[in-house]
């Protein structure tokens, strides 16, 4: 007989959450035979983090602990399901499962939802077996009666404590099934008060950091656009409130407090559901976006989800982002574990737009070389019948009117100026006014007989099709084989519409959401295999495709088409919560700025861009001799400290958010021998002085020499002092007025 233990009031339940003492509160017993693996525990340690889950008495895999590192000998209580709440919420809902399938009575967000051929939609996963290699687990689960198997993968990075989780769903039934929802992972945080941080935006305004209390119910952040999207980024951070109060405003500390964070490695439609359950715990479910999802699995077929990375820091959001930056550098980027600092580039887009030709590009290249630029990149306009954005995409042959002898003469010129050469491409797109479209109108995403919505006069090639995938790889390979090209700026200037795939049967069409992205990754991987020296930028009309999936194949990203140096301060601030400054390309462009007419000095523009990987995108034909001299000096200074800026530990000293008048960041090299500080004013009020900069992360006892690169510290600041002095006494900058900028470096003395 079914037994139940009803508790009136949630407080008691909350107290028992994650606790073995629940054993005496056994709620239900579904079958007589004991499920496999009951009592088994799985523990992963890495960095300052421990992660534990186990098999409960019902056979479910249950989340037990994610947080600060526990001592090796600490015994963790066995998993035990949570009791029902009255008659409305049975244990299948109250128990935090590691990967909850939609079945039984599950009312919280499921990780997995399947429809079987006979109409059954009930799926209940129980533990079967597991394999371990020490820092990783593969845990096999199976439905209680049907032949659906799910393998949960866990791999802990022992240095950073970042856990990589994903799932493989396998159909061993005799008939096909349709997977309607498949998360990569579900993360559980113990009951507490939390603040959620997440990034949103739009074209020209990406990387806004939002912070809000996590309250009852669900918060969804997602993309339904077939791509990562400008509107939200697949990253989250959750800070525990440490104010010791049970009410009042929440705080998310920059350098203190516990933070859990996660990032999904997927460049297609995605969804995170952040849910505060009735028991006050917080669950984050993330993976493929279930909207319009339906992945048919024939007997014997499998669906593998993307990887959802999760980590923990006890040093606030700053600590969390430093862990993530290092992890990206060491484990995600194509050149990991030791990516080279990015070459300083010149890009001609804002100077010439589509009007590229040999003479114009060569003139710009000469000027760029005189500044100490490492790489010259020719942007849009060099191919097909491309005069503007109305034609040419898809026709990847060199435009003979603009480049009568092909690209070689320009490339040779660029090489003779001691720079390498980069080129813009937009491989997944097609203009209806192109030879390719006239030949293959069926190659685009579309529903037969329905209108095809154009954006920027272009349609999306259906990369899920093997012939399209091969065409894209073919022309890119030819381009790189025939020309000495060091770098591709890979653009992607619209989102999907009418996402039909009419070459396959109706019940297979929705696979486009998965196969398209996999094929993009495949093309990128093949290209890198065939041309191991190639470097690639992920650009999507700015920051529309930045995620840990594309970053496995691309060396840098274009965060935004908005290059206004002031707007960039807060965008770069938001960006670095999730991504390392190494990949954050930042160009110096014209003043007044085309977007808002704002006037800024060259120094302000240079320093704003020097916070990331530097580029120059202005029309050099309009520069004065003084501009050239200033930029040359600053580029030389940047080259000297670039590795510290882009690969060091980042501290946000003064935030540009919330209408701040000031902003400042500091980076420290991993061996603490060097530090670089940037400071900016905005619209200062009432003559306020620049805030005291108490530096961070230095070696307290070592002596550091301060060198000003731009601007100055107030009179009386020592030239050299201990780390303790710079961190406790701090630096007062002599920085007054609107739109002023300063930069200095500290070098450890021997």
What does the binding site for ligand DGJ look like in residue numbers (CB under 6 A)? 349, 379-380, 424, 491, 493, 539, 541-542, 558, 561
Q: Specify the 3-state DSSP secondary structure of 224.
A: coil
- Across-strand partners of 156? 163
Looking only at the bridges linking them, the beta strands covering 295-297 and 232-240 are unpaired
Least distance between ligand DGJ and beta carbon 197 (Å) = 26
Counting DSSP H helices and E strands in the chain, the numbers are: 13, 35
Token digits of residue 248: 């009042």
Q: Which is nearer to ligand DGJ, 536 or 603 (CB)?
A: 536
- Encode 440-486 in three state secondary structure: CHHHECCCCCCCCCCECCEEEECCCCHHHHHHHHHHHHHHHHHCCCC
Interatomic CA distance for residues 463 and 490, integer angstroms:
15
The residue of the chain with the least Cβ separation from ligand DGJ equals 380
Query: Are the CB atoms for 681 and 744 separated by under 8 Å?
Result: no
10 Å Cβ neighbour count for 532? 8
Interatomic CA distance for residues 625 and 628, integer angstroms:
5
Least distance between ligand DGJ and beta carbon 604 (Å) = 21
Least distance between ligand DGJ and beta carbon 22 (Å) = 54
Q: Which is nearer to ligand DGJ, 270 or 490 (CB)?
A: 490
For residue 76, the number of C-alpha atoms closer than 13 Å in the C-beta half-sphere is 23
Look at residues 481, 494, 379 and name the one whose alpha carbon lies nearest to residue 428. 494
- Encode 591-631 in three state secondary structure: CCCCCCCCCCCHHHHHHHHHCCEEEECCCHHHCCHHHHHHH
Least distance between ligand DGJ and beta carbon 380 (Å) = 4
Q: Which is nearer to ligand DGJ, 425 or 693 (CB)?
A: 425
Least distance between ligand DGJ and beta carbon 349 (Å) = 5
Least distance between ligand DGJ and beta carbon 593 (Å) = 15
Q: Which is nearer to ligand DGJ, 281 or 493 (CB)?
A: 493
Q: Choose the catalytic residue: 143, 491, 555, 649.
A: 491
Least distance between ligand DGJ and beta carbon 339 (Å) = 22
Q: Which is nearer to ligand DGJ, 202 or 302 (CB)?
A: 202
H-type alpha helices, 328-432: 349-352, 358-370, 408-416
Interatomic CA distance for residues 683 and 572, integer angstroms:
18
Least distance between ligand DGJ and beta carbon 488 (Å) = 12
Least distance between ligand DGJ and beta carbon 456 (Å) = 8
Q: Specify the 3-state DSSP secondary structure of 102.
A: coil
Q: Choose the catalytic residue: 561, 564, 618, 747.
A: 561
Greatest extent of the chain over all pairs of C-alpha atoms, in Å: 89
Length of the chain: 750
Least distance between ligand DGJ and beta carbon 347 (Å) = 7
Look at residues 459, 488, 154, 549 and name the one whose alpha carbon lies nearest to residue 345. 488
Q: Specify the 3-state DSSP secondary structure of 626.
A: helix
Least distance between ligand DGJ and beta carbon 531 (Å) = 21
Q: Which is nearer to ligand DGJ, 427 or 542 (CB)?
A: 542
Annotation says 491 is catalytic? yes
Interatomic CA distance for residues 186 and 353, integer angstroms:
45
Interatomic CA distance for residues 644 and 418, integer angstroms:
24
Q: Which is nearer to ligand DGJ, 491 or 535 (CB)?
A: 491
Query: Are the CB atoms for 53 and 42 separated by under 8 Å?
Result: yes
Q: Which is nearer to ligand DGJ, 349 or 501 (CB)?
A: 349
Token digits of residue 95: 């128990």
Containing H/E element for 14? helix 10-16
634-639: long-range contacts (C-beta < 8 A, 24 or more apart)? Answer: 634/603, 634/606, 634/607, 634/610, 634/709, 634/710, 635/344, 635/371, 635/372, 635/373, 636/372, 637/709, 637/743, 638/344, 638/610, 638/614, 639/344, 639/372
Interatomic CA distance for residues 27 and 92, integer angstroms:
10
- Across-strand partners of 226? none
- Map tokens 């088409």 to a residue: 561
Interatomic CA distance for residues 519 and 739, integer angstroms:
45
Q: Which is nearer to ligand DGJ, 380 or 573 (CB)?
A: 380
Query: Are the CB atoms for 3 and 28 separated by under 8 Å?
Result: yes
Query: Are the CB atoms for 263 and 278 separated by under 8 Å?
Result: no
Q: Which is nearer to ligand DGJ, 497 or 589 (CB)?
A: 589
Q: Which is nearer to ligand DGJ, 424 or 496 (CB)?
A: 424
Q: With the CA atoms of 157, 159, 162 and 163 taken in that order, what torsion angle do they form, in degrees rounded to the nearest 10?
A: 30
Least distance between ligand DGJ and beta carbon 415 (Å) = 23
Look at residues 535, 251, 239, 528 and name the one whose alpha carbon lies nearest to residue 377. 535
Q: Which is nearer to ligand DGJ, 57 or 380 (CB)?
A: 380
- Tell me the C-alpha to C-alpha distance, in Å, between residue 295 and each of 269, 271, 291, 308, 352: 14, 16, 12, 19, 45
Q: φ, ψ for residue 197 (rounded to 5)?
A: -115, 135
Query: Any idea which residues carry the catalytic annotation?
Result: 491, 561
């Amino acid at each position: 007989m079914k037994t139940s233990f009803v508790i009136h009031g949630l407080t008691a339940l909350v107290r028992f959450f994650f606790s073995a003492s629940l054993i005496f509160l056994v709620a239900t017993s579904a079958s007589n035979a004991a499920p496999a693996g009951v009592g088994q525990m799985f523990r992963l340690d890495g960095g300052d983090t421990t992660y534990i889950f186990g098999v409960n008495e019902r056979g479910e895999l249950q989340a037990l602990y994610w947080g600060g590192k526990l001592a090796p000998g600490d015994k963790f209580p066995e998993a035990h399901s949570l009791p029902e709440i009255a008659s409305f919420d049975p244990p299948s809902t109250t128990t935090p499962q590691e990967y909850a399938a939609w079945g039984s009575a599950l009312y919280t967000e499921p990780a997995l939802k399947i429809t079987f051929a006979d109409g059954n939609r009930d799926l209940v996963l129980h533990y079967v077996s597991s394999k371990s290699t020490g820092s990783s687990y593969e845990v096999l689960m199976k439905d209680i009666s049907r032949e659906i198997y799910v393998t949960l993968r866990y791999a802990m990075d022992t240095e950073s404590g970042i856990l990589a989780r994903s799932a493989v769903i396998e159909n061993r039934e005799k008939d096909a099934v349709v997977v309607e929802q498949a998360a990569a992972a579900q993360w559980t945080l113990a009951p507490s008060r939390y603040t959620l941080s997440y990034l949103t935006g739009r074209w020209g305004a990406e990387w806004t950091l939002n912070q809000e209390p996590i309250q009852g119910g669900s918060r969804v952040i997602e993309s339904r656009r077939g791509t990562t999207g400008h509107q939200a980024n697949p990253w989250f951070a959750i800070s525990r409130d440490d104010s010791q109060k049970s009410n009042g405003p929440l705080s998310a500390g920059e350098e203190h407090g516990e933070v859990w964070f996660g990032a999904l490695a997927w460049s297609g439609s995605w969804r995170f559901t952040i849910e505060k359950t009735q028991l006050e715990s917080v669950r984050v479910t993330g993976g493929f976006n279930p909207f319009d999802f339906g992945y048919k699995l024939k007997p014997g077929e499998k669906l593998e989800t993307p990887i959802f990375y999760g980590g923990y820091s006890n040093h606030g959001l700053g600590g969390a982002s430093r862990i993530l930056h290092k992890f990206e550098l060491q484990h995600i980027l194509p050149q990991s574990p030791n990516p080279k600092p990015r070459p300083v580039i010149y890009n001609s887009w804002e100077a010439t737009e589509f009007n590229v030709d040999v003479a114009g590009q060569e003139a710009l290249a000469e000027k760029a070389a005189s500044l100490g630029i490492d790489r010259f990149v020719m942007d849009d306009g060099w191919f097909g019948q491309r005069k503007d954005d109305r034609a040419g995409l898809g026709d990847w042959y060199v435009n003979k009117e603009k480049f009568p002898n092909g690209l070689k003469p320009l490339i040779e010129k660029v090489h003779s100026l001691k720079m390498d050469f980069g080129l813009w491409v937009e491989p997944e797109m097609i203009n209806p006014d192109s030879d390719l479209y006239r030949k293959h109108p069926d190659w685009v995403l579309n529903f037969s007989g329905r209108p095809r919505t154009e954006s920027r006069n272009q349609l999306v090639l259906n990369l899920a099709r093997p012939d399209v995938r091969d065409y894209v790889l073919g022309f890119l390979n030819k381009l790189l084989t025939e020309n000495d090209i060091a770098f591709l700026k890979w653009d992607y200037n619209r989102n999907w519409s009418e996402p039909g795939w009419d070459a396959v049967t109706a019940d297979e069409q929705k696979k486009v959401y998965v196969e398209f992205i996999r094929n993009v990754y495949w093309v990128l991987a093949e290209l890198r295999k065939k041309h191991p020296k190639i470097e690639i930028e992920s650009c999507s009309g700015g920051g529309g495709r930045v995620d840990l999936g594309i970053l496995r194949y691309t060396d840098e990203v274009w965060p935004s088409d908005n290059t206004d140096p002031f707007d960039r301060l807060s965008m770069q601030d938001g960006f670095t919560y999730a991504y390392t400054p190494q990949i954050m390309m930042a160009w110096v462009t014209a003043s007044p700025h085309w977007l808002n007419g704002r006037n800024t000095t060259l120094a302000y523009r240079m320093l704003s861009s020097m916070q990331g990987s530097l580029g120059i995108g202005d029309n050099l034909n309009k520069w004065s001799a003084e501009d050239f001299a200033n930029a040359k000096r600053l580029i030389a200074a940047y080259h000297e400290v670039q590795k510290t800026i882009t690969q060091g530990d980042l501290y946000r000293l003064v935030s540009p958010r919330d209408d701040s008048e000031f902003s400042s960041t500091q980076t420290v090299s991993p061996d603490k021998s060097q530090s670089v500080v940037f400071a900016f004013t905005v619209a200062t009020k009432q003559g306020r002085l620049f805030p005291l900069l108490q530096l961070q992360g230095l070696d307290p006892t070592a002596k550091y020499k301060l060198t000003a690169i731009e601007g100055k510290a107030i009179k009386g600041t020592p030239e050299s002092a201990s780390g303790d002095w710079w961190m406790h006494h701090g630096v007062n900058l002599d920085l007054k007025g609107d739109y002023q900028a300063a930069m200095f470096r500290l070098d450890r003395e021997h």
